[in-house]
Amino acid sequence: MELNYFRDRLFDLLNDSEGMGIADLNADERNSLLTVRTEEGNVFEIVCRQAAGKEGGWTTAN
């Protein structure tokens, strides 16, 4: 699965979700960032980066 496809699907899932109280959702494709504003006024940022497996844990791929 490619990073752009994953990010787009995540956006769709959040956008179509009921009951999460999402008031606004913004995609910044240049920075691979999703910004979520809730009905309560909280703002969350989700950064989408591809990770590569590494012995002992995960690391962000270059």
pLDDT, one tens digit per residue, over 6-51 is: 999 999 999 998 889 999 999 998 898 999 999 999 999 999 988 7
**pTM score:** 0.74
Q: What is the DSSP letter of 21?
A: -
Among 53, 50, 3, residue whose Cα is nearest residue 29: 3
> DSSP labels for 36-54?
EEETTS-EEEEE---EEEE
